[in-house]
Chains A and B, each alone.
Chain A
Amino acid sequence: MAQITLVEAITQALAFEMQRDPKVIVFGEDVGLNGGVFRATDGLQARFGRERVLDTPLAENMIAGIAVGMATQGLRPVAEFQFMGFIYPALDQILSHAARYRNRTRGRLSCPVVYRAPYGGGIHAPEHHSESTEALFAHIPGLRLVVPSSPARAYGLLLAAIRDPDPVVFLEPKRIYRAVRQEVVDSGEALPLDRAFVLREGSDITLIAWGASLKEALQVAEELATEGIEAEVIDLATLKPLDIHTIIDSLEKTHRCVLIHEAARFCGLGAEVASQINEYAFDLLHAPVQRVTGFDTVMPYFQLEGAYLPGVPRIMTAVREVLEYASGGVA
């Protein structure tokens, strides 16, 4: 069986679903003949034709808006935004319409659309090409927000997103688009949405991340293991709705938690997860939850992006603090 990368798994999932369901339409800027700037739609136009894989004029708000119209008439549009930094003109259509159509019509019409966008830093790209603003979307009622972190999960979660009857924003961590190869069975089997995945079991501390940051989280877990410390690593995968149960189950074992994300700290998704841990699992905690995140600054140009992104040393420092934390007099 072929070993494929995360971006190839995206292509494979799109191809499987287009083959299975003639109502699936793929469109965006340069997705046709060129196969997308990251080649996520490579070969799809040749295979499924220009009627189903369409290059759009250059207008992100338009891409988002026509997807709404298509979806209300029973199609399954999968729209690509070239980079997350260019998605903001589309926010109006996503927030004001895609996420509201079902509710506004009390179920008469719905919006089963998938908005795909590569996101995150670390590939030495120009300004606006390295954003991690997933929290903007997590705040919107009526949306699902999904981030894969491996080829297999990219394949299974994208299939699930396309088949989901509601709108999904599907953010692809481009730093790991080609980081690893993995065997992915092209069986058409979807993975469940709204569920976190435990990537590594452990009993001493829980590391929670999504997307590309899991690379560092797993690396930290590996290093800790050499010292006999067992970290449990959770991939949130669906950021909204949040699977707090998997997190609580983990905290029942570990009692300690570090959250990692590339996005800025203030009102980042880590704040929501920490708040829910506080509400549902305060008694389980032996130490305050720590966040290791991007800084509350503008995402720097690439010379300094390494300083911005939460790397292994910063995560390790936080992990040590959480592991060594002792509440007053009880330790």
Chain B
Amino acid sequence: MHKPRMQLLASFDIASLQYLDESGQTTQALPDFATPDTLVALYRQMTLARMVDDRAVKMQRTGQLGTYPSSLGQEAIGVGVGAAMAKEDIYCPNYRETGALLERGVRIEEIYAIWGGDERGQNYRHAREDLPLSVPIATQMLHGAGVAFALKYKHEQLGEPIRAAVTSGGDGATSKGDFYEAINLAGDWKLPLVVVINNNQWAISLPRSGQTACKTLAQKAIAAGIPSLQVDGNDVIAVYQAVLEALQQAHAGGGPSLIEAVTYRLCDHTTADDASRYQPQEGLKEAWSKEPLRRLRTYLEGLGIWGDAQEEELQRELREILEEAVRVYRQTPRDTPTAIFEHLYETLPEAFIEQYQQLQGDS
């Protein structure tokens, strides 16, 4: 058998970025932003995100909150992404992004309101332009591409300052058309979009290996013609730096990019799930040894700027913030039933006024 000769047309590589390994040791010189003060601030926010999630799960278990998707173990991604974004950039998230929401200025009581069954939670007092949580998988990535188009258009055609959009999704999201359609368009139209994949190894019960034969999720960007990178998603320094560079590229007109942040879901999919049905215990144990908070704390301790005293003080401060948010959440009265009509359209069409009045009369 004669093997035909072929020409190599293209070849690709996928790079991986890490600064801080699981034992809290640096694997290379840290980037400029990573000053002790900044790292302490990131550690604080990751700790807060974990406390917010932990309290949410406890409230759900005691009937004070609806179904809740914790981001336990994935705090470095949310916080890293949120902290690297400029205030003016626009965030188009999935539903498992506690750390990022807090960074964007979403209030803890707003997060609780959303999962407590109250749309008013998404009427963010800050982060006014950020998109709300998107529950259907990957759909938000197309919104992100549309937002990025609008930001580019307003910059180029209407003279507004350049801004970028950041969208996020999980490993399962990369199996959906919305994901591919979004990165394909973003590449074709050179949109200022950063796509962050929170690869937490699980889409409810399906492990990452069941989603795709691809060796990495980052390589899916190759098919869209956009640059991509895999980062250690438990290393907040790597996440922050990767997002920062991707945003710099987007702001400079260099177009979109994709970041696959590799982590592990240390919790159930949501409070309605029981991961012990499908998650092997040994994998979970190994994942706990790599989780993001401990390694950063170890590093900060090594610098001599962190210890039990600082940790206790931080915990005390954050508990106070959390208790206040819980108090506000619990004390917020239920919305009036007619609110379900009041934002259906800008002005309620006459055809629905009878139903509106009926509900008004019932309540």
Residues of A within 8 A of B (CB): 22-23, 25, 51-52, 54, 56-57, 59, 61-62, 64-75, 77, 89, 92-93, 96-97, 101-110, 141-142, 144, 165-166, 194, 240-245
* Distance from A271 Cβ to chain B, minimum over Cβ atoms (Å): 16
Whether A96 and B139, one on each chain, are in contact in the complex, defined by CB atoms closer than 8 angstroms, is yes
Whether A241 and B352, one on each chain, are in contact in the complex, defined by CB atoms closer than 8 angstroms, is yes
Complex CA–CA separation, A57 to B165 (angstroms): 20
Whether B131 and A109, one on each chain, are in contact in the complex, defined by CB atoms closer than 8 angstroms, is yes
Which of B143, B345, B352 interacts with A69 by CB under 8 Å?
Answer: B143
Complex CA–CA separation, A69 to B149 (angstroms): 8
A69, A243, A244, A245 — which one has the most chain B CB atoms within 10 A of its CB?
A: A69
Complex CA–CA separation, A56 to B149 (angstroms): 12
B contact residues around A52 at 8 Å (CB): 157
Complex CA–CA separation, A109 to B340 (angstroms): 16
B contact residues around A243 at 8 Å (CB): 351
The reply on B255 being an interface residue by CB < 8 A is no
Closest to A77 in B: B146
Q: A65-B145, A241-B352 are in contact. Are A59 and B181 (CB under 8 A)?
A: yes
Which of A23, A142, A242, A245 interacts with B345 by CB under 8 Å?
Answer: A142
Which of B144, B149, B181 interacts with A57 by CB under 8 Å?
Answer: B181
Which of B146, B156, B177 interacts with A51 by CB under 8 Å?
Answer: B156
The reply on B346 being an interface residue by CB < 8 A is yes
* Distance from B185 Cβ to chain A, minimum over Cβ atoms (Å): 6
Residues of B within 8 A of A (CB): 90, 92, 119-120, 122-124, 128-129, 131-132, 134, 136, 139, 141-151, 153-154, 156-158, 165, 177-178, 181-182, 184-185, 188-189, 339-340, 342-346, 349-352
* Distance from A245 Cβ to chain B, minimum over Cβ atoms (Å): 8
Closest to A49 in B: B157
Supply 7 further A-B pairs (C-beta < 8 A) apart from A57-B184, A109-B131.
A59-B181, A69-B142, A69-B143, A69-B165, A92-B139, A106-B122, A107-B343
Complex CA–CA separation, A295 to B123 (angstroms): 45
Number of A-B contacts (CB under 8 A): 152
Closest to A245 in B: B350
Complex CA–CA separation, A106 to B114 (angstroms): 12
A contact residues around B131 at 8 Å (CB): 69, 72, 109
Which of B148, B156, B344 interacts with A103 by CB under 8 Å?
Answer: B344
A contact residues around B136 at 8 Å (CB): 92, 96-97
Whether A51 and B157, one on each chain, are in contact in the complex, defined by CB atoms closer than 8 angstroms, is yes
Complex CA–CA separation, A25 to B146 (angstroms): 12
Complex CA–CA separation, A25 to B255 (angstroms): 20
A contact residues around B129 at 8 Å (CB): 72-73, 109
Which of B134, B146, B349 interacts with A67 by CB under 8 Å?
Answer: B146
Whether A65 and B344, one on each chain, are in contact in the complex, defined by CB atoms closer than 8 angstroms, is no
Complex CA–CA separation, A70 to B185 (angstroms): 14
A52, A66, A92 — which one has the most chain B CB atoms within 10 A of its CB?
A: A66
Whether A241 and B344, one on each chain, are in contact in the complex, defined by CB atoms closer than 8 angstroms, is no
Whether A57 and B188, one on each chain, are in contact in the complex, defined by CB atoms closer than 8 angstroms, is yes
A23, A51, A65 — which one has the most chain B CB atoms within 10 A of its CB?
A: A65
Q: A73-B147, A75-B153 are in contact. Are A57 and B346 (CB under 8 A)?
A: no
Which of A65, A104, A108, A241 interacts with B181 by CB under 8 Å?
Answer: A65
Whether A22 and B158, one on each chain, are in contact in the complex, defined by CB atoms closer than 8 angstroms, is yes
* Distance from B310 Cβ to chain A, minimum over Cβ atoms (Å): 38
A contact residues around B340 at 8 Å (CB): 103
Complex CA–CA separation, A159 to B343 (angstroms): 23
Q: A22-B158, A73-B151, A106-B343 are in contact. Are A66 and B119 (CB under 8 A)?
A: no
* Distance from B338 Cβ to chain A, minimum over Cβ atoms (Å): 13
Which of A25, A59, A66, A71 interacts with B177 by CB under 8 Å?
Answer: A59
Closest to A23 in B: B158
Whether B119 and A65, one on each chain, are in contact in the complex, defined by CB atoms closer than 8 angstroms, is no
Which of A54, A74, A97, A194 interacts with B143 by CB under 8 Å?
Answer: A97
Q: A51-B156, A70-B147, A105-B119 are in contact. Are A141 and B344 (CB under 8 A)?
A: yes
B contact residues around A70 at 8 Å (CB): 146-147, 149-150, 153
A contact residues around B142 at 8 Å (CB): 61-62, 64-66, 68-69, 93
Whether B150 and A75, one on each chain, are in contact in the complex, defined by CB atoms closer than 8 angstroms, is yes
Whether B178 and A65, one on each chain, are in contact in the complex, defined by CB atoms closer than 8 angstroms, is yes
Whether A57 and B157, one on each chain, are in contact in the complex, defined by CB atoms closer than 8 angstroms, is no
Q: A57-B184, A106-B123, A106-B343 are in contact. Are A74 and B150 (CB under 8 A)?
A: yes
Complex CA–CA separation, A245 to B352 (angstroms): 13
Q: A66-B149, A69-B144, A107-B343 are in contact. Are A241 and B139 (CB under 8 A)?
A: no
* Distance from A243 Cβ to chain B, minimum over Cβ atoms (Å): 7
A contact residues around B123 at 8 Å (CB): 105-108
Pairs across A and B, CB under 8 Å, 12 listed: A65-B181, A65-B182, A66-B142, A69-B131, A70-B153, A71-B146, A72-B147, A104-B122, A105-B132, A106-B343, A109-B129, A241-B352
